[in-house]
Structure 1
Amino acid sequence: MYKGHRIRAGDQHLVYHFVIGWLSALFIGWMGVFYFQELRQFDISMVSLSISEIVWSIKDLVCLLGSLALSGSMILLYIHFFQDHWRSLWHRQKLARMILENHWYEVKQTQSDGFFKDLNSSRTRETISYFPKIYYRMKDGLLSIRVQISLGKYQDQLLKLEKKLESGLYCELVEKELKDSYLEYTLLYDMVANRIGIDEVVAENGALRLMKNQVWAYDSLPHMLIAGGTGGGKTYFLLTIIQALLKSDAELYVLDPKNADLADLGTVMPHVYSQKEEISACVEDFYERMMARSREMKEMANYKTGENYAYLGLPPNFLIFDEYVAYMGANRFPTSIE
């Protein structure tokens, strides 16, 4: 299976090498286009290495400056139209520098002979003997960074990279999973560019689109936990989800123990509760109906083990509980257990 690009020590100057390499290639290519006729009539026997015999004309100057301008313009067009690849180069360069600057590698001393071997001018230089195996891959708006688990002395640092990756690559950690002697960090990048409008948040076919590259498949993953700081937009996010689900065949039950913004939905939709007794009764009723429907599903003719309500054509039911932890903390211990 393809792991991605291997991060190497030479990647610390990856962007510079990429730009210089392509600029040189494009410049030579454009110069070849401008001097195509001259190259066809080129006679190597007439070549002179004398600088005094080189004569510059206006055409030569225009061709030189034109080739530089066109090469630079093509690089800028590449950066504009292939932003993901350009960003991946910066990411790989940052990862290489992270390893080098934190000294998460090993070196060995090697002897190199001088040009004149009889003068005994050998010298000692350092070469990298071990560089951790880290693979970088960008696909479908997600970054996959795989770190090999080698049981070496730098393993502890490499197993706790999430904070460095989030801040250094400007990403959000989505998943951290152990896979076949590798630890894989999955991160969501470029969150601003992948945002969508409220009208584009649509629930269909058992899934709710949250971003251009993120979909909540509630048919197969029915639970969602929303966390964030004060003023982080949790309520607006919940209101957006509620609006999208109301346009589907889903049945919604909204609980707001703080009697805040979500409680105002009671004026435009049913099953909105904010009082302690109402919330307890709603949760208990929701649970009882869930268990009853589960029994009914097993008695249906087209019931199949491992399938859910969607396979049987039943509508989804959502229990949206705002400030759940605050509700549990505000009530006494016996009530919370119940």
Structure 2
Amino acid sequence: MIFSMLKKFNNNSEWKEIKYPQRKFGSLKYLLSIFIILLTIFLLILSNAIPSLTFNIPVIHRSISFNWVINLLIVAIWGITIYKSVLVYFNLLKSTKSWIANNLAYMIGTLKLFDEEYFENITNDNKVIREKRIIRVIRIYYKETEKYVFVRIMRDGDRFTNEATKLGENLESSLGMELESTNMTVNYAEYIFIKRKDERIDLNSMVNKVNGSEEIKITGNISYELSKVPHSLIVGGTGSGKSFFILGKIVNYLKLSPQADLRIIDPKKADLSLLRFVTGFENKVATEANQICRILRETVELMERRYADYFNDVSAFGKTYRDFNLPVVIVIFDEFSAFMHSVDKKVAKEALDYVFTIVMKGRQAGVMIEILMQRPSADDLPTNIRAQMGFKTGLGAMDSIGYNMIFDTNSIEYKTVTEKGGGYIQIDGKHTAPVYFETPYIDKDYDFITEIEKLMKNQETIEL
């Protein structure tokens, strides 16, 4: 029975309710003590009841007693039984009172997340005694998996309903874990904690080396597949690490198999524009308004050709570009806001129409776009485009209005970002709310141009 209880308590896949005040297990201690006393008495009686084992040996005219062997055996049985009983006792205590439950119960007590009332009791001699009792306690449940701890605080319409949405920092301190994300519903507030702190990876670890994989790793815990998460929005000001982040993604896109077909748009003529001097990027880097519209138009035309060539009958049902071994086409549009403000309305509308077409139709054909901005602006990037971005990041410190524009939520308590390359990220299918992350580490002496040239030459060799 005890072992079946242990198995039940160790099933971490089920939600467990926090009991407050916690149930005491003093009776188990007394039962263990009584068991030890009764066992000792029983073995003493057994020892006395065993007849004397003495043998006479005529040759040496002496007798030898073997009672000490019996006594030693009884003592060994006593010791082993006591050890096993104590072990089961402590395992039961450990299983029924996990450290998570203990810490959450302690938080309930210190924050007084319960209601009390006085009750009057009349004793046998007709004296009235007032006694304070807990009548209501905030309802908290938790669930533990290999990587995460989930905590749900129920919203029952009492005074704890508002408290449930404000306990993020208290829970972090109580559990000693980093809060990854929150999920607020009408019925409960859910907090998701990472058991092990996320690791900042190296640039060379970003792409899964398995052939045919399009998995892009961002951190030790965060990764995504391009075919499932098309289109990206990356926002970050000067010194936020945005430029290194996108250059790192470019390097890893060129490591994909088949190699990604990249088109670069850099209206400010900054670092990305220098890729036009790399063999293989001829006519794929645009800095002027007419060039930018041309690249966008040609990308849309390529997308339409793919639909006409590969998705033209019922056999293509449910397939994507990967089923036809087509390279993913990625347009990297840097300084999007700067472009929208530097051209006339007609050119801006033309470019925006092409972007909208790519965003709405590009996923299945493997045509994607990454939009980079220094400052979030709902006027420059309409909601109908922003909503289709499966990969969203805000790098560096920004205010709640900026975060709200990127992630379309204002229910998150954002921490101040101090680390270069640090910020918040939200990936469709991975996160229900933005989480803090740090971009892959890139050595300051890393030569992007040399690495990109090498990757482009390798591709030319493969094609030949």
Q: TM-score, normalising length from structure 2?
A: 0.46
Deviations 1:223-282 (A, max 9, x none): 222234542222222111111110112211222232223223333351232333322221
- Relative to structure 1, the CA distance from residue 130 to residue 289 in structure 2 (aligned partners, 3 Å threshold; closer, same or farther) is same
Q: Is the 8 A contact 2:120 2:128 kept in 1?
A: no
Q: Is the 8 A contact 1:302 1:312 kept in 2?
A: no
Q: What's the secondary structure of 1:146's corresponding residue?
A: strand
- Relative to structure 1, the CA distance from residue 211 to residue 128 in structure 2 (aligned partners, 3 Å threshold; closer, same or farther) is farther
**1:1-338 pair list within 5 angstroms:** 2=13, 4-7=15-18, 9=20, 40=75, 93=103, 104-111=113-120, 118=125, 120=127, 122-127=129-134, 129-135=136-142, 137=144, 139-140=146-147, 142-159=148-165, 171=178, 173-174=180-181, 176=183, 178=185, 181-186=187-192, 191=197, 194-203=199-208, 204-228=212-236, 230-248=238-256, 249=258, 250-268=260-278, 270=281, 271-299=284-312, 302-304=315-317, 306-338=318-350
- Relative to structure 1, the CA distance from residue 282 to residue 99 in structure 2 (aligned partners, 3 Å threshold; closer, same or farther) is farther
Q: Is the 8 A contact 2:165 2:184 kept in 1?
A: no
CA distance in 2, matches of 1:170, 1:318: 37
- Relative to structure 1, the CA distance from residue 303 to residue 143 in structure 2 (aligned partners, 3 Å threshold; closer, same or farther) is same
CA distance in 1, matches of 2:101, 2:106: 10
Query: Alignment length, in residue pairs?
Result: 264
CA distance in 1, matches of 2:313, 2:329: 19
Q: Which amino acid aligns with 2:218?
A: L
* Cα root mean square deviation, aligned: 4.2
- Relative to structure 1, the CA distance from residue 154 to residue 212 in structure 2 (aligned partners, 3 Å threshold; closer, same or farther) is same
Deviation at 1:89, TM superposition (A): 5.0
Sequence identity (%): 25
Q: Which amino acid aligns with 2:300?
A: Y
- Relative to structure 1, the CA distance from residue 211 to residue 120 in structure 2 (aligned partners, 3 Å threshold; closer, same or farther) is same
Q: Which amino acid aligns with 1:275?
A: E
For structure 1, the residue ranges without an aligned partner over 5 or more in a row are 12-36, 44-87
CA distance in 1, matches of 2:342, 2:173: 35
Q: Which has the larger radius of gyration?
A: 2
CA distance in 1, matches of 2:319, 2:182: 26
- Relative to structure 1, the CA distance from residue 292 to residue 96 in structure 2 (aligned partners, 3 Å threshold; closer, same or farther) is farther
User: Looking at both structures, which has the greater relative contact order when contacts are Cα pairs under 8 Å and sequence separation is at least 6?
Assistant: 2
Deviation at 1:316, TM superposition (A): 1.3
- Relative to structure 1, the CA distance from residue 117 to residue 277 in structure 2 (aligned partners, 3 Å threshold; closer, same or farther) is farther
Q: Which amino acid aligns with 2:327?
A: P
Q: Is the 8 A contact 1:112 1:125 kept in 2?
A: no
Deviation at 1:10, TM superposition (A): 5.9
Q: Is the 8 A contact 1:255 1:273 kept in 2?
A: yes
- Relative to structure 1, the CA distance from residue 90 to residue 184 in structure 2 (aligned partners, 3 Å threshold; closer, same or farther) is closer
- Relative to structure 1, the CA distance from residue 102 to residue 177 in structure 2 (aligned partners, 3 Å threshold; closer, same or farther) is same
CA distance in 2, matches of 1:334, 1:196: 43
For structure 2, the residue ranges without an aligned partner over 5 or more in a row are 1-11, 23-71, 79-97, 351-464
Q: Which amino acid aligns with 1:251?
A: D
Q: Which amino acid aligns with 1:198?
A: L
- Relative to structure 1, the CA distance from residue 216 to residue 296 in structure 2 (aligned partners, 3 Å threshold; closer, same or farther) is same
Q: Is the 8 A contact 2:262 2:330 kept in 1?
A: yes
CA distance in 2, matches of 1:290, 1:147: 47
- Relative to structure 1, the CA distance from residue 312 to residue 330 in structure 2 (aligned partners, 3 Å threshold; closer, same or farther) is same
Q: Which amino acid aligns with 2:334?
A: D
Q: What's the secondary structure of 1:258's corresponding residue?
A: coil
Q: TM-score, normalising length from structure 1?
A: 0.61
Deviations 1:151-187 (A, max 9, x none): 3343344346668778996746456365x94444446
CA distance in 2, matches of 1:255, 1:97: 55
